Amino acid sequence: MSRHSSLRGSVAIVGIGDTEVGLLPGRGTIDLTIEAASRALCDAGIDKSAIDGLITSNSMVDPHMYHAELVAQTMGIFPRHCLTLAAGGAGSFAAVQHAAAAIATGLCDTVLISSADNLRTGLTREQAAAQQSSTADPQFEAPYGAPVPAFYAFIARAHMHEYGTTPEQLAAVAVTTRRHAALHPGAQKRAEITVQDVLSSPLIADPLHLLDCSLVSDGGAAVVLTRADRAKDFPRGGVYLLGAGEGHSHEHISQAPSLVASAARESGERAFAMAGLSPADVHFAELYDCFTPVVIVELEDLGFCAKGEGGPFVEAGHTALGGRLPTNTHGGLLSHSHSGHPGSMFALTEAVVQLRGDAGARQVAGAEIGLVHAQGGVLSSHCTLLLGRERA
């Protein structure tokens, strides 16, 4: 076992907070980051002065050279450890791993991770286009005018070619996720959809339709982490970090080693090894779903089904509430919200809600171990976390 295994059971999430999501005109990244933070502090039952570590993500709308420091200044807190973390969509969970390491080594005791942005109402048309094109290699990809959905369409098309995955199976990801969002009072899109609705929505970049693509949202969420042995002193107790792992394979999609498999394999294996668990032990998963094919690739690479069987796995209903592996129980990026870097934070707070047994109509029965996974770039950066109701 690597020394890394010492993080298992070492920290607990003792507070969570979500802002509203959707259209929040007039709200900015600092404002929303602090609102999410305040909610998480309130949930943890602690004063802001207890926070001695702060991790934020930078804004795409209104980037700051020292984002975390500005949040600390505005909140009036004076942390010992302060970090603006950038790993795209995977940043939220990489932040958890950093926080756990900082707590486990005594760098700090109580870490606030808060992340928010206002992509929906804050970006001008030009900024939105510039954001999209900044994902492409400026010399070797940008000249062809492919928007981000086309990059993910490459993955979908390759998976269809290699394994016979169908547009109906991609659509089933969106349909299942929307059904879950319908049970979440805060989700941005709650009206149920059918496979036919997805297939008849406009093609954006073949084979991806509009409803294969995630939302654009304002909003953010926060968590408070502390030493596991202190968790029982908090009003809601703790949800424990059992395993964490990252994997990184490329930046630009044209340089990806594979179009159908990702470094989620490595991040998942590392997280499971740390936790001493296997995919069969997991009761629910919150996966990164910026586009429907990503969920299929992640289900395979994380070991929930064999390579190539992600499409049939979703189509058979295994990822629905009541299925073998309820997935994206809050509605994911496809239906709950996608505010950019903060998007996956809602998957994390949802996992805590599920493990606390607070999810109401969308509660996964007997949820004791949950997996959350996020990726950034175009299947580039991956981070997997295993969370448990019990410490070990």
Partner 1 sequence: MTDEIAGKPVPRPTEETRDYWEGCRRGELRLQRCSECRRVQFPPRRFCSSCLCARLESFAALGRGVIRSYSVVRHPLSPAFAGDVPYLVALIQLAEGPTMMAGLRGCTPDTVAVGMAVEVEFEARSETHVPYFHPA
Q: Which residues in this chain contact partner 1 in the complex, by CB under 8 A?
A: 129, 132-133, 137-147, 149-150, 153-155, 157-158, 161, 202-208, 253-255, 259
Q: How far apart are CA 118 and CA 88, in angstroms?
A: 15
- Shortest Cβ distance from residue 214 to partner 1 (Å)? 15
CA distance 280 to 267: 17
In this structure, are residues 288 and 375 in contact, taking their beta carbons and an 8 Å threshold?
Answer: yes
Report the alpha-carbon angle 165-195-129, nearest 5.
Answer: 80
Cα–Cα dist 251/263, whole Å: 12
Our CB check for partner 1 shows the closer of 174 and 325 to be: 174
Helices (H) then strands (E): counts for the chain: 12, 11
Q: How far is the CB of 254 from partner 1 (least distance, A)?
A: 4
User: Of 253 and 353, which CB lies nearer to partner 1 in the complex structure?
Assistant: 253
Closer residue to partner 1 in complex, CB, 70/128: 128
- Least distance from C-beta 31 to partner 1, angstroms? 30
- Pick 64 or 250: Cβ nearer partner 1: 250
Give the SS3 label for residue 236: coil
Strand pairing category for 239-248 and 381-388: antiparallel
Specify the residue, 194 or 254, whose C-beta has the smaller distance to partner 1.
254
Q: How far apart are CA 93 and CA 348, in angstroms?
A: 8
Contact predicate 61/119, CB 8 Å = yes
Residue whose CB is less far from partner 1, 128 or 195: 128
| Closest CB 98 distance from partner 1, rounded Å | 27
Closer residue to partner 1 in complex, CB, 52/301: 301
CB of 255 to partner 1, least distance (A): 7
* Residue 16 DSSP SS3: strand
In whole angstroms, how close is the CB of 139 to partner 1 at the nearest point?
4
Give CA 36 to chain center in angstroms. Answer: 16
Distance between CA atoms of 309 and 313, rounded to whole angstroms?
A: 6
Cα–Cα distance between 79 and 121 in angstroms, integer? Answer: 31
Q: How far is the CB of 156 from partner 1 (least distance, A)?
A: 8
CA gyration radius, the chain: 19
